């Protein structure tokens, strides 16, 4: 499997700062933040599936534009995979005819441009031999992370999460783990904000990574603009022994 980073920032501000979205093998999105808008029209038309971690705007903002742009160019609907709670939020607060049309009914309910597929934590969805398993997350809204398994190797994306013992119990059983993408949204001086918003700061990241019992490349995502250098310096001071690196827009990870 090939993961291409379309966005991995906790905010916007210049071409390199796009919110969370990863393109898997050209036909699947893992979250759909602002980075999706940098894809060409041809690339957008190839996207068949969107796996959503949670309903916050920085992770779903491009779904309405994606469906509106390419829905009429495709022979089948785009499938949005999300938890029942997240699907309900998307229906009530985005695709509600007030914020955006309900593309699960356009052009007809029988042949829509978009369809929902509910996921459950621990239940694997397999698409052309590629396995996507929702993982537990600890956030302010219903949320999941994902375990992606190509058969040869695995990647775990934590999604937005605070401290999460349930996650590590599962991750430590993944025998072919190759890469871990984990968030750190705030610097240590904002630890209280991280705790309230159920994100991580470097000292909390250190506590979490010490629960990891597998060798893997560790990539840090979701850093807030304006604090990137400070936060990465603090990460080096707190968890340098794990050699975490900052995820970059445009980066490709194969596993």
pLDDT per position as a tens digit, 38-88: 999 999 999 999 999 999 999 999 999 999 999 999 999 999 999 999 999
Last residue of a domain, one of 119, 135, 155: 119
The verdict on 115 and 149 lying in the same domain is: no
The reply to whether 252 falls in a domain is: no
pLDDT tens, residue by residue, 169-187? 999 999 999 999 999 999 9
Q: How far is residue 239's CA from residue 206's CA, in Å, rounded to a whole number?
A: 5
Q: Which residues form the domain of 175?
A: 120-247
The reply to whether 60 falls in a domain is: yes
Each as own residue / partner, the long-range contacts of residues 92-95 (CB below 8 Å, 24 or more positions apart, any chain) are: 93/55, 94/60, 94/63, 94/64, 95/64
Token pair 């705007």: residue: 57
| Alpha helices per DSSP H over 105-190 | 165-171
Last residue of a domain, one of 119, 142, 175: 119
Last residue of a domain, one of 70, 103, 119: 119
Domain count, the chain: 2
Q: How far is residue 101's CA from residue 95's CA, in Å, rounded to a whole number?
A: 5
Environment class of 65 (CB within 10 Å of its CB; exposed 0-12, middle 13-18, buried 19+)? middle
Task: Flag whether the pTM goes above 0.95.
Answer: yes
The verdict on 54 and 93 lying in the same domain is: yes
The reply to whether 164 falls in a domain is: yes
């Amino acid at each position: 499997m090939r993961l291409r980073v379309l966005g991995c920032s906790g905010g916007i501000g210049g071409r390199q700062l796009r919110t969370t979205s990863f393109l898997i093998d050209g036909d699947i999105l893992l979250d759909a933040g602002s980075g999706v808008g940098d894809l060409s029209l041809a690339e957008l038309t190839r996207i068949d599936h969107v796996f959503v971690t949670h309903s916050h705007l920085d992770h779903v903002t491009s779904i309405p534009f994606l469906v509106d742009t390419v829905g009429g160019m495709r022979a089948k609907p785009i499938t949005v995979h999300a938890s029942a709670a997240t699907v309900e939020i998307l229906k009530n607060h985005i695709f509600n005819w007030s914020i955006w049309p309900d593309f699960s009914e356009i052009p007809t309910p029988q042949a829509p441009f978009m369809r929902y597929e509910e996921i459950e934590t621990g239940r694997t969805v397999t698409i052309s031999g590629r396995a996507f398993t929702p993982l537990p997350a600890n956030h302010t809204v219903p949320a999941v992370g994902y375990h992606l398994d190509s058969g040869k190797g695995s990647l775990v994306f934590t999604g937005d999460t605070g401290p999460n013992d349930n996650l590590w119990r599962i991750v430590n059983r993944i025998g072919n783990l190759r890469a871990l993408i984990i968030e750190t949204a705030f610097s240590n001086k904002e630890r209280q904000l991280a705790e309230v918003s159920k994100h991580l700061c470097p000292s909390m990241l250190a506590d979490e990574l010490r629960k990891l019992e597998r060798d893997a490349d560790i990539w840090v995502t979701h850093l807030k603009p304006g604090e990137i250098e400070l936060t990465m310096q603090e990460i080096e001071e707190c968890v340098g022994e794990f050699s975490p690196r900052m995820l970059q827009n445009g980066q490709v990870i194969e596993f």
